[in-house]
Amino acid sequence: MTAADIAVRQIRIGAAPNPIGRDLYDGFRAWRLWTMLGWNDIRQRYRRSYLGPFWMTISMSVLVCALGFIYSHLFQTQIDVYLPFLSLGFIIWSFISACLKESCQAFFEHESLIKQMRVPFSTYVLCVIWRNFVVLLHTIVIFIPISLYFRHAPQPIALAALPGLLLLWLNLVWAGLILAILNTRFRDVSQIIDTVLQIAIFATPIMWPASALGEYQFVADINPIYHWIELVRAPLLGEVPSAASWTMSIVMLVLGTAVALLLLRRTERRIVYWV
């Protein structure tokens, strides 16, 4: 059989599957597309609003200050130490939880585009993460006046938050891709994720330090979201992230990406029929 015969046969039975990882590679290369889609989603969400995404900044500021005042007294912690800790933890948690929740609907949001043209499926997940990253940039500014008010001068270690944020970003890509595929096939996944995240916020050291668990600190140590938060929060608070947080995040990135790529390779031809 000649090469031409093989090509014709592949066309008849369907295009030859892409090499594993090609969709993700093409998705990152299409950064102009998913940044444009993300900006458009934000504009549509805050259309006819004078403050736009800054409403998130205002609401987050009020929530953080109220919780900081209440829980600093409950935990008998100085508010100048507790409020910066709480604000960063809550802001980063909001970013993570929003990415995970919205990734479940990533394919449904662009159903018409998926059915009309061939775009890497990872593009839609990257769009979700990008638009929530823009919101994160609006809300992270809350930490600036808080640190200035309590006279927490920035430390050189704060630069370590950048690679930590990148590692968090990449972990959200594979997690979002898996959730998008599973929820497209099984519509109940989004409800399960909502329930899990409602529980996870109380099981993750956001409003309380991991050391408060004492002998049960292993609950925090096996929580991947805690390590993702610490990679960004610890440097901004002038602390060095633990080696366990780096190790856990890197191992999860490798294993999670492998699982996401294998799952996508198995389902990429069916997604268009599921949406």
Asked if residue 5 belongs to a domain, the reply is no
Asked if residue 131 belongs to a domain, the reply is yes
Q: Is 14 left (phi over 0), alpha (psi -120 to 50) or beta?
A: left
> Of residues 213 and 271, which shows the higher confidence score?
271
Number of domains making up the chain: 1
Asked if residue 3 belongs to a domain, the reply is no
Asked if residue 25 belongs to a domain, the reply is yes
Asked if residue 10 belongs to a domain, the reply is no
The whole-number pLDDT of residue 8 equals: 31
Average pLDDT over residues 163-180: 96
Q: pLDDT per residue over 136-163, tens digit each?
A: 998 998 998 888 888 887 788 899 999 9
Q: Whole-angstrom Cα distance, residue 171 to residue 253? A: 5
pTM of the model: 0.88
Asked if residue 66 belongs to a domain, the reply is yes
Asked if residue 222 belongs to a domain, the reply is yes
Q: Whole-angstrom Cα distance, residue 91 to residue 64? A: 9
The whole-number pLDDT of residue 74 equals: 82
Can you give the residue range of the structural domain that contains 113?
Answer: 17-274
Asked if residue 7 belongs to a domain, the reply is no
